[in-house]
A and B are shown apart, each in its own frame.
Chain A
Amino acid sequence: MAKQYEFSSKGLPYLLVLPQMAIVLVFFFWPSAQALWQSFFVQDAFGLRTQFVWFDNYLKLFRDPEYWDSFGVSAAFAVTVALSSMGIALFLAAQANKKIRGASFYKTMLTWPYAVATMVAGVLWLFMFNPNVGVVAWFLKDAFGVEWNHLLDSTHAFLLIAVAASWKQIAYNFVFFLAGLQSVPATLVEAAAIDGAGSFTRFWRIIFPMLSPTTFYLLVMNLVYGFFETFPIVHQVTGGGPGKATSILIYKVWRDGVVNLELGSSAAQSVVLMILVIGLTVLQFRFIERKVTY
């Protein structure tokens, strides 16, 4: 990369970064520092007095079986969503990448759902599976005798939010896998075919390894999505229930902070989540540096 021309001006560059830095400072560093600070305090019920308690909030958190349950549900949920939406997206991208009639129509139709809000995805699936008005819930009962009720059955609840979250995420993964597939040199695949490799072997031995940077990037992004960005679906569809069955970490932070007003605990949870995301991001950069390739 060529070294860029550098203007000489004393004040101007500071003026240029000022708006961005002001916003980063006020809405990023300040709240993050406050979360850290607040996680060392407990507040009484009326918010009148606060007491410094060292790591008590964290210790309480890690001793709380409910927190570990929430951790388990989140991990199961994030992994389920990541694997199913990535698997389906990869399969569809491989199909749409073939030279077939209407390929561009298929590509558009599989891309636009990216624009559907996570919250709306929740509403769509809620509407189909609502025990009273849902068409699919009615069909399940009529045809298979399954009494669908995600408000009472925790397996139903988990399945419903997992399907809604995966449905929404397929388009995102599809865009990346398709771009990845299009960059695999056709000559390489043809050479393998001449050597007698069948289409199955060609895919798993040649194409899939070449996609590994994309796959790894998507895995991290999908885990982040599953852990943190699926709040709208949980909030809209199950409310964390039945009981606490679908109360994933990000939902619990919100609930403990906004509804139960346990500010110290909520702040400690925020800090744990921050460490989790930083870990995932660092992992991602490590791998990108080492170039996950064939």
Chain B
Amino acid sequence: MAQVIKIKQGLDIKLKGKAGRAVNCIEPEFFALQPTDFVGLTPRLLVKEGDNVKIGTPLFCDKHDECIRFTAPISGTVSEIRRGPKRLLQAVVIQSDKQLETEDFKVGELSKEGITQNLLESGLWPTIRQRPYSIVARPDDSPKAFFVSAFDSSPLAPDMDFLAEHFPDSLQKGLDILNILCNGKLHFCVHAEKTKSEVLLKAKNIILHTFSGPHPSGNVGTQINKICPINKGDIVWHCGLPEVINIGHFFLTGRLDFSRLYATAGTGMLHPHYCKTQLGASIAALVEGNLKDGHQRLISGNVLTGQAVSQNDFIGFYHNMLTAIPEGDQRQELLGWIWPGFKKFSMSRTFPSAFIPNALQPDYELDTNLHGEERAYVMTGEFEKVFPFNIYPLQLIKACLIGDLDLMENLGIYEVEPEDFALCEFIDTSKTDIQQIIHKGLELVRKENEG
């Protein structure tokens, strides 16, 4: 086995409500594909309300590169084109006919070009994203490396072992395909203790890397930084494990299938478990009969990087889970800054919880309270404890705030994504929206570089 890459800086936030290994197959009525899930995408709508679609029918494409298509994850009729302010296309909603009819695709020869063509036509291509910027990969680029993270270290994350054992053949096929696509530079990262599945550990046609340590060791950004850091002009592609399985299934059977195993987790759920359905299922269907009373926050994705959603919305394209946690808007604690706070979770040693070793930490029930108000940056040296990059986090954040492009580049903006700063945002004493700041910085750099 190759050398274990130890991640020392980080934090495992242990939350109550981890999904148990029960799978519930559901057939939601509504599905949607949301152009807003794709960074920097200008969509061009290809269907209208009332159109019949099959799995694989293009719903919209990238206006700047029309061969990148986004296709229906389910068969049925387009029931709603949802638009936001300034007629921004928010979602193409499909009412399922529960038939799972697919468009016919012919899987061609397994060359780099053939695979690219197949992925583009089927709508599987957008599952591959590029770093920097986290935009959908551009088919003409040749990436320096391709990364697949085989474990998710974020709080309450779905168990990737469980997923892999559900679809072992599809997974291996998917890896074979991606390996051809990137000319054998497919890096596959597992966790030294958490990854137990033989399917993952014995995967072939990959370069295996073993990581250890707390979150964000499972973030692809951390892994890229440790194995082949991105310099200016470099491009690295990455893809999640569920997406690899979708790709593998397509090339294995010739049938397009956007089946997903979503974890529904968190203390807001009555019975945290897995839901088997298709990509883009409606939130209402995922939480049906499983939500506790009271004011709950529903999150598409994990608690650190996910998006707050309502029951009317749909699960995000790149999200593998739905989290429900209590809203923290009820409680107004008297003189909260002075009490010892035995039940509170903090990285700061002003709270007792910070002294408990990680292995002995109990599971916490955290809500969405901000626990303070936004302030100027005062504390220093905090972010470095949860940020395993050789980058100065506070300085990069400040460079993004003032929009200094040269400084951002010099400090390593190409190597990071908002999700890499999620833990910094979590522990921030000054309660600033760091992921948003980094996102804005990255968008500024992207627009500058693309002219």
A binds B: no
